[in-house]
């Protein structure tokens, strides 16, 4: 088989990079998995591709390191500009200790809010690795705090994941295993790996900061009795916890006898009120990962200090330890993802809901016109970074624009419309193409002697200037009557021949106008404060044809930007 040149280039790039990492000798397994990561479309053809990879790998490995370097420079892509980044080679690094066919990853959200762009990053990476190694992905709802979790959020997360095109092999809840987790907890106390602590929170904090043990930890007589009482419901919340017997003097404060179970009275979405003793994240996460057969557990960097505890809990219970690794949190500049910051704004009405187009939630990005394919490409273009990632929002836009371009009709919208009367115009019907190159049909518009143009265009006109009304004809301005928010312009039609040098503007025919609004989301936070001007509304006229568009489809308003149809009278601005 002869490879298409872009595939060959990808393989060479991957191979050269890998060779230069390993003293000039690229490793076959690594090159295969990286190639598949950057070109998932090749997976269906894997039998044909592998011999080609071998061939190119042999070629590369037979070169001297200096020759490899030169070759890499020749074929590697130029440094990143946002638009070009779309084409940038990207790939996730190999997973430590991964075996083809045996990798199990999991995405473990807590159903305490709507999923956002950061969750998309985690879920996409988890899924990409599962695919890369022919393994499987588990979607696990980490639902062990009934005070935070709601059925609405489980559903929102499931929908978000589905929208991203992610197909977990298994969907489960941590709460499904609540009694198994409780049993392990009891076992840990019985084997003295943990203890029931009756100290109040203040005392616990004080002893923790001083590195001192409490009396409960040292209790040799009644610890089993306390355990029975804890599960029999004898204690109120805050009267007892189960704590790991860690090391109160450890430099890693996560090891200073962290809480593994606490009592919570709440109505759990799955368990109702029958359970009161809930594991903490520090206990539930390692246990679930281990028991579910997860081989590679990835989480965000802020958990790094908890890795020691994660491993210690499993060791003490003689359970298998998954490989744990971290990646950076993703959020956009000026657009925090934290529920702590978003929830209050929804509650006080500053935002209209989780789908307010200013938010980085998946449901808002969708409403705004972002495509799941673009989000995936964007996330993968960031690769596996450990540094705090706060890319500008524009870098996601670049991916989306590329995906929207050929499928979106190009129609006219004029903001703050101004009437333009054309004196000597004959009534005409024009047939306008809905897209210059894609086959998206056409529309016919009747024009008498008056059209509307956008205020921003009108402002630049003066007597004597010439403009072209796109796809219609040229006019010469004879009179401009513009006041603060009203006005009219008069013109003569001059010639139907296109003159390249004159300004072309969009218009809406007098009898074809559809009053229309465009919601324009702006940065939600500026200087770390809620930006009260974060939602702009543009009013004007669209062509009546816009009312034929399918709800939620994308459109490109010419010289304005991409928008997504929100209802029959309004669209949401996607990006330019």
- Among ligand ATP, Mg ion, none, partner that 30 touches (CB below 5 to 8 angstroms by kind): none
Which of residues 110 and 326 has its CB atom nearest to Mg ion in the complex? 110
- Of 113-121, 201-209, 421-429, 530-538, the window that binds ligand ATP (rule: CB under 6 A) is 113-121
Minimum CB distance to ligand ATP, residue 295 (Å): 16
Site mask for ligand ATP (CB under 6 A), range 308-347, x = bound: ---------------------xxx-----xxx--------
Q: Which residue is nearest to Mg ion (CB)?
A: 110
Using CA atoms, how far residue 216 sits from 68, 189, 514, in Å, is: 64, 12, 73
Which of residues 110 and 492 has its CB atom nearest to Mg ion in the complex? 110
Contact yes or no for 383/92 (Cβ under 8 A): yes
Minimum CB distance to ligand ATP, residue 174 (Å): 11
Q: How far is CA 130 from the centre of its chain?
A: 18
Minimum CB distance to Mg ion, residue 392 (Å): 25
Minimum CB distance to ligand ATP, residue 117 (Å): 7
Which of residues 386 and 502 has its CB atom nearest to ligand ATP in the complex? 386
Which of residues 158 and 339 has its CB atom nearest to ligand ATP in the complex? 339
- Specify which residues 526 forms β-bridges with: 529
369: left (phi over 0), alpha (psi -120 to 50) or beta: left
Contact yes or no for 248/256 (Cβ under 8 A): yes
**Count of residues that interact with ligand ATP, criterion CB under 6 A:** 15
- The whole-angstrom separation of Cα 32 and Cα 204 is 51
- The whole-angstrom separation of Cα 306 and Cα 304 is 5
Which of residues 108 and 135 has its CB atom nearest to Mg ion in the complex? 108
> What are the residue numbers of the active site?
110, 329, 339
Helices H / strands E in the chain, number of each: 18, 27
Using CA atoms, how far residue 310 sits from 178, 260, 300, 317, 341, in Å, is: 18, 11, 14, 11, 28
Which of residues 38 and 328 has its CB atom nearest to Mg ion in the complex? 328
> How many C-beta atoms surround the C-beta of residue 11 within 10 A?
25
Minimum CB distance to Mg ion, residue 357 (Å): 24
- The whole-angstrom separation of Cα 122 and Cα 326 is 10
Which of residues 303 and 452 has its CB atom nearest to Mg ion in the complex? 303
- Give me the sign of the Cα torsion angle 336, 342, 344, 348: positive
Identify the residue among 76, 134, 148, 300 touching ligand ATP (CB under 6 A): 300
Site mask for ligand ATP (CB under 6 A), range 64-103, x = bound: ----------------------------------------
Report DSSP letters for 522-538, one per residue: --SEETTEE-TT-EEEE
- Among ligand ATP, Mg ion, none, partner that 299 touches (CB below 5 to 8 angstroms by kind): ligand ATP
Q: Which residues in the 156-215 window bind ligand ATP by CB under 6 A?
A: none
- Among ligand ATP, Mg ion, none, partner that 450 touches (CB below 5 to 8 angstroms by kind): none
For residue 351, what is the DSSP state? Answer: S
- Spell out a b/e string for 55-66, using b for 16 or more CB atoms within 10 Å of the CB, else e: ebbeebbeeeee
Which of residues 318 and 340 has its CB atom nearest to ligand ATP in the complex? 340
Q: Cβ neighbours of residue 213 under 8 Å, at least 6 residues apart?
A: 207, 248, 257
Phi and psi at residue 547, in whole multiples of 5°? Answer: -70, -10
- Of 104-112, 143-151, 166-174, 525-533, the window that binds ligand ATP (rule: CB under 6 A) is 104-112
- Among Mg ion, ligand ATP, none, partner that 121 touches (CB below 5 to 8 angstroms by kind): ligand ATP
- Among ligand ATP, Mg ion, none, partner that 330 touches (CB below 5 to 8 angstroms by kind): ligand ATP
Q: Which residue is nearest to ligand ATP (CB)?
A: 118
> How many C-beta atoms surround the C-beta of residue 402 within 10 A?
16
Minimum CB distance to ligand ATP, residue 302 (Å): 8
Which of residues 265 and 388 has its CB atom nearest to ligand ATP in the complex? 388
Minimum CB distance to ligand ATP, residue 8 (Å): 34
What does the chain come to in residues? 576
> How many C-beta atoms surround the C-beta of residue 33 within 10 A?
22
Phi and psi at residue 382, in whole multiples of 5°? Answer: -75, -25
Minimum CB distance to ligand ATP, residue 93 (Å): 17
- The whole-angstrom separation of Cα 204 and Cα 187 is 23
Residue 472 contacts ligand ATP per CB under 6 A: no
- The whole-angstrom separation of Cα 99 and Cα 132 is 10
**Would you tell me which residues interact with Mg ion (CB under 5 A)?**
110
Q: Which residues in the 118-147 window bind ligand ATP by CB under 6 A?
A: 118-119, 121-122
- Among ligand ATP, Mg ion, none, partner that 326 touches (CB below 5 to 8 angstroms by kind): none
Contact yes or no for 505/491 (Cβ under 8 A): no
Contact yes or no for 492/546 (Cβ under 8 A): no
- Among Mg ion, ligand ATP, none, partner that 167 touches (CB below 5 to 8 angstroms by kind): none
- The whole-angstrom separation of Cα 483 and Cα 278 is 67
Identify the residue among 8, 83, 110, 308 touching ligand ATP (CB under 6 A): 110
- Of 115-123, 170-178, 270-278, 425-433, the window that binds ligand ATP (rule: CB under 6 A) is 115-123
Minimum CB distance to Mg ion, residue 386 (Å): 20
- Among Mg ion, ligand ATP, none, partner that 331 touches (CB below 5 to 8 angstroms by kind): ligand ATP
Contact positions toward ligand ATP, by CB under 6 A? Answer: 108-110, 118-119, 121-122, 299-300, 329-331, 337-339
């Amino acid at each position: 088989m002869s490879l298409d040149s872009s595939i060959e280039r990808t393989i060479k790039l991957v191979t050269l990079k890998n060779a230069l990492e390993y003293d000039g000798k690229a490793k076959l397994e690594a090159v295969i998995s990286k190639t598949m990561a950057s070109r998932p479309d090749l997976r269906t053809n894997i039998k044909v591709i592998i011999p080609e990879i071998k061939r190119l790998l042999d070629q590369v490995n037979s070169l001297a390191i200096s020759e490899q370097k030169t070759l890499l420079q020749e074929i590697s892509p130029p440094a990143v500009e946002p638009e070009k980044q779309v084409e940038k080679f990207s790939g996730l690094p190999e997973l430590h200790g991964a075996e083809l066919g045996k990798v199990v990853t999991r995405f473990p959200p807590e159903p305490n809010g709507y999923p956002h762009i950061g969750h998309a990053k985690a879920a996409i990476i988890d899924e990409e690795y599962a695919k890369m190694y022919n393994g499987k992905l588990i979607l696990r709802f980490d639902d062990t705090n009934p005070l935070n979790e709601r059925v609405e959020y489980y559903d929102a997360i499931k929908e978000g994941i589905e929208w991203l095109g992610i197909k977990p092999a298994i969907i489960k809840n941590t709460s499904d295993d609540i009694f198994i987790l409780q049993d392990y907890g009891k076992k840990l106390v019985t084997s003295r790996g943990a203890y029931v602590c009756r100290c109040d929170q203040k005392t616990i904090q004080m002893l923790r900061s001083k590195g001192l043990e409490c009396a409960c930890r040292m209790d040799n007589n009644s610890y089993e009795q306390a355990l029975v009482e804890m599960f029999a419901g004898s204690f109120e919340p805050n009267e007892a916890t189960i704590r790991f017997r860690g090391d109160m003097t450890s430099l890693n404060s996560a090891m200073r006898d962290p809480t593994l179970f606490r009592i919570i009275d709440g109505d759990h979405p799955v368990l109702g009120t029958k359970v009161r003793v809930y594991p903490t994240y520090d206990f539930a996460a390692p246990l679930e990962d281990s028991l579910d057969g997860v081989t590679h557990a990835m989480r965000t960097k802020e958990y790094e200090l908890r890795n020691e505890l994660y491993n210690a809990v499993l060791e003490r219970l003689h359970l298998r330890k998954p490989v744990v690794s971290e990646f950076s949190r993703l959020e956009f500049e000026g657009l925090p993802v934290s529920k702590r910051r978003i929830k209050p704004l929804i509650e006080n009405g500053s935002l209209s809901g989780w789908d307010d187009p200013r938010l980085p939630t998946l449901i808002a990005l969708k409403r705004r016109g972002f495509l799941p394919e673009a989000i995936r490409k964007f996330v993968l273009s960031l690769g596996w970074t450990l540094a705090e990632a706060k890319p500008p929002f524009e870098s996601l836009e670049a991916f989306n624009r590329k995906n929207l371009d050929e499928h979106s009709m190009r129609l006219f919208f004029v903001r703050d419309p101004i009437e333009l009367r054309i004196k000597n115009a004959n009534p005409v019907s024009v047939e306008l193409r809905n897209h210059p190159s894609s086959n998206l049909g056409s529309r016919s518009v009747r024009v008498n002697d008056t059209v509307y143009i956008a205020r921003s265009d009108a402002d630049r006109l003066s007597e004597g200037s010439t403009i072209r009304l796109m796809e219609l004809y040229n006019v010469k301005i004879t009179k401009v009557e513009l006041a603060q928010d009203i006005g009219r312009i008069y013109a003569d039609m001059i010639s139907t021949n296109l003159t390249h040098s004159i300004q072309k503007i969009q218009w809406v025919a007098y009898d074809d106008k559809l009053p229309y609004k465009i919601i324009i989301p702006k940065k939600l936070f500026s200087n770390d404060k809620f930006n009260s001007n974060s939602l702009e509304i543009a009013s004007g006229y669209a062509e009546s044809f816009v009312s034929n568009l399918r709800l939620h489809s994308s459109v490109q308003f010419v010289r304005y930007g991409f928008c997504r149809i929100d209802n029959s009278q309004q669209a949401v601005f996607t990006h330019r």
